[in-house]
Structure 1
Amino acid sequence: MCGRYSLSKSKIQLEERFQAEMLGEFNPRYNIAPTQLVPVITSDSPKGFSFFYWGITPDFGKNKPVSQKFINAKAETVHEKISFKNSFLKRRCLVPADGFFEWKRLGKKTKIPYRFTLANEEAFAFAGIWEEYENEFGESNHTFLILTTESNSLVSEVHDRMPVILKKEDEKKWLDTYRSQEDLIKLLTPYQVDEMLSYTVSPLVNSVSNDSPSIIRKTSAPIDQFGNYTLFG
């Protein structure tokens, strides 16, 4: 599962990295959560950033608000699920990020937040799909979700699933509307473990109201959700 991620790069850095234009301003985000409006790059508009809500409203959920339930879909079955297969074939997107968070459980009550990034700490893209729906006021809204896969050996120490991080050279393939389903599925694999790193972060990340640089700083020792240091990280 991926339920929180960061995008702490500037507008200029993102435009340069993804070779896409971003209209309007963008403030770095350190604790992105479901239902929030964030930048994506779609197969319909690969040369520009669009701002979509995280939490997809499937085809059968017309006129419903942004969903907190459908924030991820399994890469192994996304092409088979009635709720997602049309989006998989027709509406794919890149979800820019520079890190994601998972929580390691220790016993029944204790959990410790970890941040996962690329080893070079550069921006990257999750594989995503998107949908369009009409709200109760007749306005058109756009939503997306992030595809997940089995964790590599680094992430599996904390969680059994991880978001699909696309290789840089595969990002255009993911947005290519002429790619076959078989070719697309081949892109949805765990990221190379030797090109990633992880570290513990502050429990401030637990609250979606916290969104500051302190969220992504490495802690000197693992800290649980109660603010207690622990030897077992």
Structure 2
Amino acid sequence: MCGRFLLDSDIEEIISTYRIFKKEIDSFDKGDYYPSQKAPIVLEKGERSITLAKWGFPYGSKKKLVINGRAETIMDKPMFKNAFYSGRCIIPANLFYEWKDEGNRKKIMHKISLQDSNLISLGGIYKLSIDENSNKQLIFVIITTEADKNMRSIHSRMPLIIKEDMVDIWLKDSTSIQVLKKILKDNKDNDLIIEKGEDEKHQQLKMF
């Protein structure tokens, strides 16, 4: 599961890392990002762009937010299917957080980053939505997979990390289903730095 991440890099670093041609934003708020907040995403519609999108797909009559989509079902579930085929994106982050259940209602926060890169490319999908004021906005979810061997002792799920050589392929509309399936299943052997943090209350969020 992925319910919080940190982005503290300058926009210039993101533009350089992802070879972005079109800026739809000039800046963003650095720091921790939570569900329902607007965060920078990288997408490709004709040209590589960076823009802001709200984290979470509304679900049900009470408009609960679904913030993650399972890799195992994301190509089939009605909520995600169209966005997966036509709206794949990357959510840049410096690290993400996960909480390990220690029992007795105690959860320990861990910070997870990459050893060989300042930025992590979290795989996600986005789509156009209408907000409560009838304004158009982009919304996104982060894809999760089974945890790899490094993460398994902390949590059974982890966000999909798009490896550097797969970024272009992930974003292109023309990428074949077979290749996309391979990317979804290849979320392992990531060189992670895992730092144990302080005891912190963990808010349970709905995940599909």
For this structure pair, what is the TM-score category when the shorter chain's length is used for normalisation? 0.7 to 0.9
Can you list the C-alpha shifts for 1:148-179, whole angstroms capped at 9, x where unaligned?
00111111111000000001110111111111
Tell me the equivalent position of 2:50.
49
The 5 A counterparts of 1:156-171 are 156-171=152-167
Instruction: Identify the residue that residue 11 of structure 2 maps to in structure 1.
Output: 11
CA contact 2:11–2:26 (8 Å) conserved in 1? no
Q: Which runs of 4+ in 1 moved over 4 A?
A: none
Native 8 Å contact 1:130 1:145 kept in 2: yes
* RMSD (Å) for aligned C-alpha atoms: 2.0
Is 1:2 the counterpart of 2:2? The answer is: yes
Deviation at 1:113, TM superposition (A): 0.3
For the pair 1:224 / 2:206, whether they are aligned, the reply is: no
Is 1:191 aligned with 2:188? yes
Unaligned runs of 5+ in 1: 202-222, 227-233
Q: Is the Cα contact below 8 Å between 1:57 and 1:133 reproduced in 2?
A: no
Normalised by the size of structure 1, how large is the TM-score? 0.78
The letter of the residue matching 1:53 is K
Question: Structure 2 length normalisation: TM-score?
Answer: 0.87
Q: Tell me if structure 2 keeps the 8 A contact 1:76–1:149.
A: yes
1:46 CA displacement: 4.4
Looking at secondary structure, tell me which structure has more strand per residue: 2
> In terms of Rg, which structure is larger?
1
Q: 2-side partners of 1:45 and 1:3: how far apart?
A: 30
Paired residue type of 1:14:
I
Aligned-pair CA distance for 1:127:
1.0
**Between Structure 1 and Structure 2, how many residues are aligned?**
198
Q: Which has the higher helix share?
A: 1
Conserved? CA contact 2:100–2:154, under 8 Å = yes
Of stretches 154-163 and 174-183 in structure 1, the one that deviates more from structure 2 is 174-183
* Separation of aligned partners in 1, 2:173 and 2:200: 43
- Separation of aligned partners in 2, 1:2 and 1:45: 29
Structure 1 residue 122 displacement after superposition = 1.3
Structure 2 residues not aligned, in runs of 5+: 202-208
